[in-house]
Amino acid sequence: MTTIGVLGLQGAIREHVRSIEACGKEAVVVKKPEQLEEVDGLILPGGESTTMRRLIDRYNFFEPLQQFGKAGKPIFGTCAGLILLASDIEGQNDAHLGLMDMTVARNAFGRQKESFEAPVEINGVAEDFEAVFIRAPYIQEVKADTEVLGVYDGKIVAAQQGHLLATAFHPELTDDHRLVQHFVEMVDQANGNKLASV
């Protein structure tokens, strides 16, 4: 059985558990680095990226998370999770996990648009995904082989680089599970590849 973890330090954890379960997979709230060994893929939820980073360091998650990604295990970063994945953050010298080749801008939709919903076309996933943005970042630039999956208002809000997926919005806050389903398929595929190579 495919098991998908949700990093359980801070943010929209329960909502992701609900959407993983709605996609027919087992969800685990990951609160200790050892639990990463039990999961086939991991969601980094939305919340607040600097707080989450502080907790990642405090609970010794930094290296294990980087290794998880470098080992080819799928990771889906939503909102603050996208910021954690990025190789570059505008206006900051240091990024966080730096696993995904892209530059992100934080809180980039401006104060007047702290939180809003908008339909976004996600390539190969959904033509009209109702995306919930909350103090959302956007992707300023994709690099290397990171692919743009969705654009809103001229700004990149969804991208994928192989086994890494990122959205500036919160796909877990609606009953539309197509993006989480897309991630589940990435995890199944990575699992299938692993089994095939044994």
Q: Is 171 in the site for ligand GLN (CB under 6 A)?
A: no
Please report the sign of the dihedral spanned by the C-alpha atoms of residue 148, residue 151, residue 156, residue 160.
negative
Site string for ligand GLN, 70-99 (x = CB under 6 A): ---------xx--x----------------
Q: Looking at 25, 96, 106, 177, which residue binds ligand GLN (CB under 6 A)?
A: 106
76 Cβ partners below 8 Å, 6+ apart? 41, 42, 43, 44, 164, 165, 166, 167, 180, 183, 186
At closest approach, how far in Å is the CB of 108 from ligand GLN?
9
Q: How far apart are CB 134 and ligand GLN at their closest, in Å?
A: 4
Q: In whole angstroms, how close is the CB of 191 to ligand GLN at the nearest point? A: 28
Asked about 26 being catalytic, the answer comes back as no
**Phi, psi values for residue 90, rounded to 5°:** -60, 130
Q: Is the dihedral angle over the CA atoms 49, 73, 93, 135 positive or is it negative? A: negative
Q: Judged by CB, which is closer to ligand GLN: 168, or 187?
A: 168
> 3-class DSSP state for residue 80?
helix
106 is in an annotated binding site: yes
Tell whether 134 is in a known binding site.
yes
Stretch (H or E) spanning 124: none
135 is annotated as contributing to ligand binding: yes
Q: Catalytic residue at 163? A: no
Task: Find all residues with CB under 8 Å of 49, minimum gap 6, and list them.
Answer: 80, 83, 84, 96, 106
Site residues (CB under 6 A) for ligand GLN, limited to 11-70: 46-49
Alpha-helical segments (H) within 40-139: 49-58, 62-70, 80-85
Which residue number, 68 or 133, has a Cβ lying nearer to ligand GLN? 133
In the complex, least distance from residue 59 CB atom to ligand GLN, rounded to whole angstroms: 18
Q: For residues 149 and 160, give the distance between their C-alpha atoms in angstroms, rounded to a whole number.
A: 7
Per CB under 6 A, residues contacting ligand GLN are 46-49, 79-80, 83, 106-107, 134-135
Residue ranges for the known binding site are 47-49, 106, 134-135
